[in-house]
Amino acid sequence: MKYYNTLIFELSKKDRIGYNIEERKLPEVAIPTHLLRNTKADLPEVSELDVVRHFTNVSQKNFGVENGFYPLGSCTMKYNPKINDELATLPGFANIHPLQPAQTIQGLLKIYYELQHMLSEISGLKAYSLNPFAGAHGELAGLMIIKAYHEKNRDFKRDKIIIPDSAHGTNPASATVCGFETIEIKSNPDGTVNLEALKAVLSDETAGLMLTNPNTAGVFEKDITEIARLVHEAGGLLYYDGANLNALVGKAKPGDMGFDITHINLHKTFSTPHGGGGPGSGPVGVCEKLVEFLPNPVVRKNDQGYYMDQAKDSIGALGLFYGNASVYLRAYVYILTFGQEHLSDIGPMAVLNANYIKDSLKDLFELPIDGHCLHEFVFDGLKDQSTGVKTLDLAKRLLDYGFHAPTVYFPLIFTQSMMIEPTEVESKETLDQFIAVMRKIVKESLETPDLVKTAPHNTIVRRLDEAKAARQPIVKFKDIK
């Protein structure tokens, strides 16, 4: 990585251009000036080479999955296959207007329809909508479906959603956005649902329970069948946050566990690129009795072919069109690259990788949860805390060795959380390199702790003053004095 310190605006020179457009011989249009902007937007004036060089240099300040190991827990940083990118952007997909009549988009509607079915088969839920733009958006759709279901049954008292304290922040936030009150229940030490705590809060005001399974500490909810029974008995619905689905691919289906609604993160389990923070895709899936609540439009099939329809009791529209099509096209290609022959290998290899790292390092780190983990696990700081080196320091020191740090300080149920998810794409050699470096860093933590506490040293910038950024926000070029 290279430290490049120029903003595109600093390259600007008056009259330089980077465009090549035709100004046609058509009459100019006179619009009353009071309807037009007074000054031009101060955008850069640069040549095309300036643009390309600039963004190439900017890109080199980033670490991507293709640079090295990126074990961000709960993010599933797999390889993003090139063939997915190439095929998803064929002109016959890229140049299609969303409001074209069905007869001119049968290829796209077919993919939408088939992908819905593939996701149904993999997750065990009856029907899907690909419309939600991200995981959190899928959660919102799912919660809206829960509310719509209870409203249809005239069960208006149900305004509470139960969420374990180990849950990702989007869960309670989504509940709030959907007009629910969150009831947080304290988990068992391993992050699993405490049945007594659950029973204590279930009532006729329970709309539903949101769960991730395996949970955010990589542990499977072994009481899931009982949990489902309790929630259903109380009249609530059970929601599955699909962020950790990668562990279950080939091994188990959320639908079989009693979940009524799920969302899946295509940018996690199904390899679509993370893009620096999106675009993702969070398809929402439902059991039989909730099919008619799906967001509109839904894609159906009859003798004439595929068409768009509206679910009878649809929660409504969640976007201008049909979600991030360019993303779910990639997921479709990905699934076909594995097929029924190999898709089921993903879970076992992901879980093997996670256990291998865990068992190779558990002598040096606090392992709060014993036994086999699934696709990710949590270390709660160093076993030897005598030198005061914290998880944050370890994460920063890993950057010096050319690895991206794991997820830190999440889940919140442990104070020094370091959540490691290798995914199935990493070879034993890569894992061995990582393990060796981790062991080295632990040694440094005990012998030369200051080196670790002031890491990173080899990156292009070192620890940042986040307090200054928040106290005096400089959020655009003109704010710089």
CA distance 274 to 215: 22
Q: Which of residues 100-139 bind another protein (CB under 8 A)?
A: 100-101, 103-108, 110-111, 114, 118, 121-122, 133-137, 139
Q: 3-state DSSP call for residue 406?
A: coil
Residues 132-191 that bind another protein (CB under 8 A): 133-137, 139-140, 143-144, 147, 168-170, 172-179, 182, 184
Residue pair 375/252 in contact (Cβ under 8 Å)? The answer is no
Output 36 or 196, the one with its CB closest to another protein.
36
Site for another protein (CB under 8 A): which residue of 69, 71, 73, 80? 80
- Indicate the Cα dihedral angle 103, 107, 108, 111, nearest 10°: 130
Number of residues that bind another protein (CB under 8 A): 204
Structure tokens at 98: 């969303």
Tell the smallest beta-carbon distance from residue 106 to another protein (Å): 5
Phi, psi angles (nearest 5°) of residue 377: -150, 170
Residues 68, 430: Cα–Cα separation, whole Å: 9
Contact (Cβ atoms closer than 8 angstroms) between residue 246 and residue 268: yes
Tokens representing residue 250 in the block: 């080939």
Rounded alpha-carbon distances, angstroms, from residue 56 to 18, 52, 81, 209: 16, 6, 21, 46
Nearer Cβ to another protein, position 327 or 382?
Answer: 327
**How big is the CA angle at 410 (ends 277 and 439), to the nearest 5 degrees?**
100
**DSSP annotation of 188:** P
Judged by CB under 8 A, the stretch of 76-84, 232-240, 284-292, 382-390 that binds another protein is: 76-84
| Contact residue for another protein among 95, 302, 304, 386 (CB under 8 A) | 95
Window contacting another protein (CB under 8 A); options: 195-203, 231-239, 246-254, 439-447: 246-254
> In which element (H, E) is residue 308 found?
strand 305-309
Site for another protein in 224-243 (CB under 8 A): 224-225
DSSP state of 25: S
Of these, 201, 352, 437, 451, which contacts another protein (CB under 8 A)?
352
Min dist. Cβ of residue 238 to another protein (A): 14
First to last CA, the chain: 28
Q: Select the residue interacting with another protein from 196, 302, 320, 386 (CB under 8 A).
A: 320
Residues 392-411 that bind another protein (CB under 8 A): 395-396, 399, 404-405, 407-408, 410
Residues 429-458 that bind another protein (CB under 8 A): 454, 456
The three-class DSSP label of residue 48 is helix
Per CB under 8 A, the segment of 204-212, 267-275, 283-291, 414-422 that binds another protein is 267-275
- Answer yes or no: are the C-beta atoms of 328 and 266 closer than 8 Å: yes
- Rule CB under 8 A: is residue 481 a binding residue for another protein? no
User: Which H or E run includes 309?
Assistant: strand 305-309
Applying the rule CB under 8 A, the residues between 356 and 375 that interact with another protein are: 356, 358-360, 371-372, 374
195 lies in the binding site for another protein (CB under 8 A): no
Task: Please give the structure tokens belonging to residue 461.
Answer: 């910038």
Considering only 157, 186, 383, 463, the residue that binds another protein (CB under 8 A) is 463
Among 199, 321, 443, 448, binds another protein (CB under 8 A): 321
Residue 14's identity, in one-letter code, is: K
Of 289 and 457, which CB lies nearer to another protein in the complex structure? Answer: 457
Exactly one of 69, 113, 128, 220 binds another protein (CB under 8 A); which one?
A: 220
Instruction: Give one word for 402, left, alpha or beta, with left for phi > 0 and alpha for psi -120 to 50.
Output: left
Query: Nearest approach, Cβ of 301 to another protein (angstroms)?
Result: 14
Nearer to another protein, 8 or 451 (CB): 8
Candidates 230-238, 247-255, 383-391, 437-445 — which segment interacts with another protein by CB under 8 A? 247-255
> Residue 134 CB, nearest distance to another protein (Å)?
4
**Pick 114 or 366: Cβ nearer another protein:** 114
Dihedral of CA 82/85/88/93: which sign? negative
Task: Please give the Cα distance from 431 to 421 (Å, whole number).
Answer: 11
**Which of 156, 233, 302, 473 is close enough to bind another protein by CB under 8 A?**
473
One residue of 155, 197, 203, 326 binding another protein per CB under 8 A: 326
- Residue 418 structure tokens: 């370091």
Q: What amino acid is encoded at 125 in this protein?
A: L
CA distances from 278 to 134, 138, 327 (A): 8, 14, 10
The only residue of 3, 153, 415, 443 in contact with another protein, by rule CB under 8 A: 3
Name residues contacting another protein, limited to 29-68 (CB under 8 A): 29, 31-32, 34-38, 40-46, 48, 51-52, 54-56, 58-67
| Positions of E strands within 122-273 | 127-129, 160-164, 181-185, 206-212, 237-241, 261-263
Among 87, 308, 437, 446, binds another protein (CB under 8 A): 87
Q: Site for another protein (CB under 8 A): which residue of 17, 195, 200, 436?
A: 17
Buried-exposed string 387-410: b where 16+ CB fall within 10 A, e elsewhere: bebbbbbbbbbbbbbebbbbbbeb
Query: In this chain, which of 154, 233, 277, 386 binds another protein, going by CB under 8 A?
Result: 277
